[in-house]
Every structure is written in structure tokens, then in C-alpha cells.
Amino acid sequence: MEKRNIARAGMIAGIVSIAVNALLFGLKFAVGIMVGSLALKADAWHTLSDSISSIIIVIALRFSARKPDREHPFGHGRWTQIASLFVAVFLGVIGYEFVKQSITGFTNHETVTFGVWAIVVTVISIVAKEAMAQYAFIVAKKTDNPAIKADGWHHRSDALSSVVVLVGILLAGKLWWMDSALGLVIALMLFWATFSIMRETITKMLGAQPPKELLNQIIAEIKALHSENVQPHHFRMHDYVLQRELVFHILLDKNLTIEAGHAIAEEIENMIKKKFSIMATVHIEPKN
């Protein structure tokens, strides 16, 4: 997918997320105040945090779309990965606030009476958030953008938290502590989302081996070019979001001239760029 289309797809996904989440926040928070529910208000803030994270991602996409320059020869694509870390930290902070409020609810034996509006708003939220999650995952897969994927998981966690809230609403008449318990469950979901997003993002920023499927495809294409005369190994991938850099070694006959070895390496690099849209750097080693 072209860089310009990647940025455009991310921007559209972010804008849609901001608009829908703002609407859902207003509905949830209004009903939460109406019935005095910590769970609904917490779920509303969870939804609003989606909008805030989407705003962060939209801003990051603007930065990442800048062309490479002297100080940043690999471009600015990692701004989206930095944005993913901000989203993760924000989720953790919101989760901590929910934990505090839930503990207060348990301590004070706070009870809540839910009505029909609470059920209606929660069902709407579940459907809308899961639809947004699916949309974000599709865009993330096409663009290979971790920030959009992180936003998709944020939508998914919001949909799941709303499912838990719906179950709690239906059981609240029998269990006085249900509202506080729901707030605590939502917080735990946010902590897990924080951990998952940070783990994936940090792994990519540190640099990792290419996915096994991609690696097998690249090796197969190299062998199709040069049969058994070239032995590729020691692969390393550096993900700059809008540009990926692949570094690996090949073993060549030690009797080849420097010019012949360079020609083979350059042919492999050009093939990888054309077929996989990856910038490759090949290091030549003599056999034996």
C-alpha cells in the first residue's frame, strides 16, 4: 500500500473514531448521571479515552507522513509507534482511576438501580464499538500500522467492558455490589490492554526478526533467483511503519569477484523492494 494511502486510511479511521466515540460518551455519561451508576460513567470515560487516543493517533499520522530528511533518513513513521505508547499509558491511568472509585463504592456499600435506558445505551455501545474495532483491524492489516491496531484493541476493550456492564445491569437487582465490581472489571481490562499494546509496540521499536511467513516467502524468492548458490541467513527487520528495512547475510562462492558478488546482492535487494515493498541491505560473506 502506498505511503500516501496509508496515511489517508489512518486519518479517516481516526476521524471516524473520534466522532462516534464522542457521541457514545455523551449518551453513556448522561444515562450514568441519570441513574447514578459508577459503571456507566466509567464506561463513558473509557469510550471518551478512545476519542483522545484517536486524536493522538491522527496527530502522530500527520508527523509520520513527513518525508525523510537529513536528520531522519528513515522517515518519521515511528511517530505512530510512539503514539501507541501514549495510548497505552493513558489506558493505564484511566484504569487506575476506576480502581480507586470501585474501592470507594465497595467501602460505602453504594447501590444503583438501573433502568431501561441503561440497557438500551449499553447495547448500542456494544454494537457500535465492535463495528469500529473490526474496521480498525481491517485498516491496520492493510497499512501494517500498529497505532491503528492499538486503537482497534481499544475499541474492542470498550465493547467487552460494555458487555460486562450489560450483564451487571441485568444482575444488579440481586447484588448490591455489582456496580462497583463492574468498575473494577473494566479497570482490569484496561490494564491488560495497556500491557498488550506496550509489549507489541516496544518489540517493534527494538527491532525483531521478520514474521515467519514473510521470511519464508523472501527466502523462496531468493532461491528462485539463484537456486542453491546463495545461502541467506541472519535476518533482522527494522519497522519504521511507512518503511521497513530488512538486513541479512548471504554466503557466496569465495572465488567470485567483488563485482559479481555486488551484482547478486543488488539483484536480491531490488527483487525484495519490488515484490515486498521492503528496503533490503545484503551483507556478503564467503563460503567456508
Residue 103, Cα to own-chain centre: how many angstroms?
Answer: 30
pLDDT band at 59 (very low <50, low <70, confident <90, very high): low
Span 221-273, pLDDT tens digits: 888 887 667 888 888 887 766 677 888 999 888 888 889 889 999 999 999 98
| pTM, to two decimals | 0.58
Residue 4 has pLDDT above 60, yes or no: no
Burial of 190 (0-12, 13-18, 19+ CB in 10 A): buried
Q: What is the mean pLDDT of residues 6-27?
A: 78
CA 149 from centre of chain: 3
CB 228 within 8 A of CB 261: no
Task: Flag whether pLDDT at 282 surpasses 60.
Answer: yes
Angle at which helix 3-35 crosses helix 146-171, to 10 degrees, equals: 20
**Domains of the chain (ranges plus CATH)?**
3-206 (1.20.1510.10), 212-286 (3.30.70.1350)
CB 44 within 8 A of CB 165: no
Query: What pLDDT sits at residue 270?
Result: 93
Pairwise pLDDT comparison (127 vs 101), residue with the higher score: 127
Look at residue 279 and tell me whether its pLDDT is greater than 60. yes
Residue 174 pLDDT > 70, yes or no? yes
Are 165 and 39 in contact, with CB atoms under 8 Å apart? yes
Looking at the predicted structure, is the pLDDT value of residue 74 above 90? Answer: no
pLDDT above 90 as % of the chain: 5
Give tens-digit pLDDT for 193-202: 788 878 877 7
Please indicate whether residue 33 or residue 5 has the higher confidence score (pLDDT): 33
Scanning 234-282, the segments in alpha helix (DSSP H) are 258-276
- The DSSP H or E segment spanning 236 is strand 231-239
Q: Which three cell numbers stand for residue 135?
A: 474496521
**Mean pLDDT of the residues in the chain:** 79
> With bands split at pLDDT 50, 70 and 90, how would you rate the model's confidence at 64?
low
